[in-house]
Structure 1
């Protein structure tokens, strides 16, 4: 059996069908909104990689710092023989964990991009020839079925992606994680932390305009995939701190009154001048809140690590 296998659980047309549904529903409601996953076509992924290198965008560097300094402790606490990663992408950060998990048998990356999974799997096997990689082409929010691999298992959900889910979605997601795990299995969760508003807003509104281009990329995706006639120049990038919900919101604000036609979903969308389309929320967390959300899903938080500046946290929890 090959050390790299790729299983597709998403139908070939699932991505287009999901985009059509999200655009039809999200642009027909008041206020208008779209989920952030539609930023990430090939161009959007390149822009995000550029964002992670910007001086004010700290989350990626902070999380990597924790992984570098705490990987051995994570390995000792879990003794994981299988590592599962949701939204694995290039599997870049996970390499630190794989190197520390000396008893690791299997790696199960889960992502919607088959090409990203194949490239990451081949690169990992070049460095870790004894590893078995079971890649899953799947949307973790739609439910996944894990391959039969040895335990204990460590499920990693990194990058602060949990914050892109609103509270009801987070609760459902954490319940689904609990259902995937067996007693003795663990969840490694990355969460960006609440901090001063200026630092947070600067991370999502860089003067170079990279985040603005990333935000507007969703309009290019709709134009290409659904025949839309958005002109990104008609919209301004907006990033603001929502104090009530303790999350950053990214929005696109119409510069003038306009109508956009999206023929593939038979939609004509009108915008008033100044009207905003919400494209992302990025919730920030406190330790007690993370502990409570995990407990509500049947998980017990056992370890909490932050970077030196206490901007970002990795938490380890076990199925209770």
Structure 2
């Protein structure tokens, strides 16, 4: 078998169709809202990479600290032969796991970007020529269909990305993951933790303005893909902590009354001065809340690790009720 294979479960036109649907719905509802996945075109991905290096943005460093410290322990506990990574991107963080898993012979990165998957595979295969990489071009929010690879498997969902899902969406997602796992498999989950408001807001509103540019990039995506006429200068970047929901919200706030036209959708979106378009929700978690959500989906929380400052957590869970 070739060390690299690629399967596409996401239709070629699915991204455009989903963008059209999200923009049509999101700009006509009240309050206006768009899902955060539309940040990530090539420029958005570059900006996010810059964000991860900012002094204010702690999650990437904190998670990497845990992975480096605990990769050997994860390997010993799981004995994984297959590593599945959802939203793999450049696969940068999982290199710490891949290098520490002595029994690993299959890596299954899952991402919506074929170019990102191919680029990551080239790098990984140069470092680990005996590794078989089976990449999936897929959107994990719309169902999982993993290839048949040897177990035990570890399915990794890192970066705190689960926080971009609302509670009901998380329940559906975790149940779908649980349905894919067999006896001996495990879920490795990254969750950003509740902490003081100042630290949280700064992570999403850095002094250099990189996150503001990242937030506004969604307007560039809509302009390019759907022929809209958003002017990024008409909007301010806003990051707020919702203490009741325990999540950060990123928004774009109209500086003045403006009408945005989206000709391909025959849509005119009216913004009043000060009206906000919500572009991201990023939930923060507590240990018992994570345990409860996992249990509701049929998982048992086995290990919980944090960085030294207790800002971020990695948890290892196994399907409950399955015989070994």
TM-score with structure 1 length normalisation? 0.99
The aligned residue for residue 85 of structure 2 is 85
Tell me by how many angstroms 1:108 deviates: 0.3
The aligned residue for residue 279 of structure 2 is 279
The aligned residue for residue 210 of structure 2 is 210
Tell whether 2:72 aligns with 1:72: yes
Tell me by how many angstroms 1:70 deviates: 0.3
Q: What SS does structure 1 have at the residue aligned with 2:85? A: strand
Tell me by how many angstroms 1:264 deviates: 1.0
Tell whether 2:173 aligns with 1:173: yes
* Alpha-carbon distance in structure 2 between the residues aligned to 1:63 and 1:90: 16
The CA deviation string for residues 11-62 of structure 1, in whole angstroms up to 9 with x for no partner, is 1111000000000011110000000000000000000000000001000000
The aligned residue for residue 54 of structure 1 is 54
The aligned residue for residue 224 of structure 2 is 224
Q: Which residues of 2 match residues 137-148 of structure 1 at below 5 A?
A: 137-148=137-148
The aligned residue for residue 236 of structure 2 is 236
The aligned residue for residue 121 of structure 1 is 121
* Alpha-carbon distance in structure 1 between the residues aligned to 2:145 and 2:177: 11
* Alpha-carbon distance in structure 1 between the residues aligned to 2:43 and 2:4: 27
The aligned residue for residue 307 of structure 1 is 307
Tell whether 2:304 aligns with 1:297: no
The CA deviation string for residues 197-229 of structure 1, in whole angstroms up to 9 with x for no partner, is 000000000111100000000000000000000
* Alpha-carbon distance in structure 2 between the residues aligned to 1:273 and 1:304: 45
Tell whether 2:5 aligns with 1:9: no
Tell whether 2:13 aligns with 1:20: no
Instruction: For structure 2, list consecutive stretches of 5 or more residues without a partner in the other structure.
Output: none
* Alpha-carbon distance in structure 1 between the residues aligned to 2:215 and 2:4: 34
Tell whether 2:259 aligns with 1:265: no
The aligned residue for residue 130 of structure 2 is 130
Conserved? CA contact 2:144–2:176, under 8 Å: no
* Alpha-carbon distance in structure 2 between the residues aligned to 1:265 and 1:108: 36
The CA deviation string for residues 37-95 of structure 1, in whole angstroms up to 9 with x for no partner, is 00000000000000000001000000000000000011111111100000000000000
The aligned residue for residue 188 of structure 2 is 188
Tell me by how many angstroms 1:241 deviates: 0.2
* Alpha-carbon distance in structure 1 between the residues aligned to 2:83 and 2:30: 41
TM-score with structure 2 length normalisation? 0.98
The CA deviation string for residues 247-289 of structure 1, in whole angstroms up to 9 with x for no partner, is 0000000000110000111110000100000000000000000
Conserved? CA contact 2:83–2:153, under 8 Å: yes
* Alpha-carbon distance in structure 2 between the residues aligned to 1:109 and 1:265: 34
CA RMSD of aligned residues (A): 0.5
Tell me by how many angstroms 1:144 deviates: 2.3
* Alpha-carbon distance in structure 1 between the residues aligned to 2:76 and 2:266: 55
Instruction: For structure 1, list consecutive stretches of 5 or more residues without a partner in the other structure.
Output: none
Moved over 3 A (4+): none
Give the paired residue count.
320
* Alpha-carbon distance in structure 1 between the residues aligned to 2:171 and 2:28: 26
Tell whether 2:51 aligns with 1:29: no
* Alpha-carbon distance in structure 2 between the residues aligned to 1:134 and 1:173: 22
